[in-house]
Amino acid sequence: MKNYVIEKFMTLIRYDTASDPNSTSYPSTEAQMCFAEIMAGELMKIGVKDIAIDRYGYVTGTLPGNTDGPVIGFISHMDTSPDCSGFGIEPMIIENYDGDTIQRKGVPLSPEEFPELKLYTGKTVICSDGTTLLGADDKAGCAEILTALAYLAEHTEIKHPTIRVAFTPDEEIGKGTEHFDVKKFGCDYAYTVDGGILGEISYENFNAARAKIDIKGKSVHPGSAKGLMVNAALIGCELDSMLPEYEIPANTESYEGFYHLTEINGNVENAHMSYIIRDFDKDSFEKRKNNIVNIVKNLNEKYGANTVHLNLYDEYYNMAEIINEHKYVLDRAVKAIEKTGVKPLVEPIRGGTDGAGLSFMGLPCPNIFTGGHNFHGPYEFVCAESMVKAAETIINIIVG
């Protein structure tokens, strides 16, 4: 199983499937639609039935059951983060990792900076060459689902109910379930395979919103600018300074929310900023959004109406609200992880997952681990042995 999951993972990360938050198409990049064909082909090799790719890029398939039971779904997303290049990934496979710094073409991967590396001493660590992300988020999940399906397809003596699988686009930009047809998917409940550390299972995630801000300035010659110039870039700096200084990702953990400036560019005449807003608590989430609204209002009162334009919209909500009513779904996953010999870690997701949107669409869908760390950047890595445990967990959930 280890060689199989590594082989599948290595195959999938060859494809650059970054999503694009500024695109108006769905999926947001043509590369994801091309990758959907790759995933359909992988399902076909296994013998999965009813394989389909819809016009939005969703890939679905069925592994028919040989016994009665609930129809269970497993879902991973095909896109990688647009925050770091996924083009030309050069993976490194470190067998029997010695616990020391991994020297790479790009940035080194050091246990002094990332102590969790030490957990994998003696195991197989996979990372990029340090110039790109790795793509374990979420091609590790895709590979693990394929591995579990292949195992069950080969071992026909194992009794299991009907299984549905889906591979989705645009999860990284908060649109992974925008056109997902829950009724057509036809599951009683499902699991996203999109988590992190070995044994992790999550049913709580951030409430999420995005704020896109455009600022209109007035450019005149700086030598005669007094009383005339309106510097859009400086207004952007002023706006950011009005947010709580320490409520940013680098200063928060556990259930603490934040504002995260993801993009800023501009000049005197025009500036653009983009924030993501995150909080587990619904009331606090609303207060954060209102804070942005009030800051923009105050700046427009100061510099003139329509100087600052705000496009603020919600992306997803905390699925705990739904999963708390369907705890049996969580209990089944906890039991499945325990059967692999791993201690379950019930942790909140400091991020999002397709499972959040799906849960609010009527499909209870907690999130299970992939074995990856440090997603969305060149420090990303995954442990092959953890990927095997993730595949075993999927099988255990199916078998019950």
Whether pLDDT at 353 is above 90: no
Q: Mean pLDDT of all residues in the chain?
A: 96
Is residue 283 part of the annotated active site? The answer reads: no
pLDDT at position 238 over 90 = yes
State whether residue 51 is helix, strand or coil: strand
Residue 349 has a pLDDT of 87
Structural domains of the chain sorted by starting position, each given as residue range(s) with its CATH number in brackets: 2-205+318-399 (3.40.630.10), 207-316 (3.30.70.360)
What is the structure's pLDDT at 352? 80
CA–CA separation, 374 vs 354, rounded Å? Answer: 19
79: annotated active-site residue? yes
Over residues 330-339, the mean pLDDT reads 97
Distance CA 215, CA 269 (A): 8
Give this prediction's pTM.
Answer: 0.87
Q: pLDDT tens digit string along 1-13?
A: 999 999 999 999 9
Under 8 Å between Cβ of 83 and 378: no
Residues 44-84: pLDDT tens digits? 999 999 999 999 999 999 999 999 999 999 999 999 999 99
**Percent of the residues in the chain that have a pLDDT greater than 70, as a whole number:** 100
pLDDT cut 90: percent of the chain above it: 96
Span 126-169, pLDDT tens digits? 999 999 999 999 999 999 999 999 999 999 999 999 999 999 99
**Residue 344 is encoded by which pair of tokens?**
């379950």
Q: What residues contact 111, with CB distance under 8 A and at least 6 apart?
A: 99, 100, 101, 117, 118
Q: In the predicted model, what is the mean pLDDT of residues 197-220? A: 95
**pLDDT-based confidence at 400, cuts 50/70/90?**
confident
Distance CA 72, CA 395 (A): 11
The pLDDT confidence band at residue 226, using thresholds 50, 70 and 90, is very high
pLDDT above 90 for 108: yes
Q: Give the residue-averaged pLDDT of 252-277.
A: 96
* Two structure tokens written together for 104: 């790479």
- 320 sits in which H/E element: helix 320-323
Give residue 57's pLDDT: 97
Choosing from 16, 79, 137, 194, the catalytic residue is: 79
Q: Is the predicted pLDDT of residue 174 greater than 90, yes or no?
A: no
Report, as an integer, the average pLDDT of 199-214. Answer: 95
Catalytic residue among 171, 172, 354, 380: 171
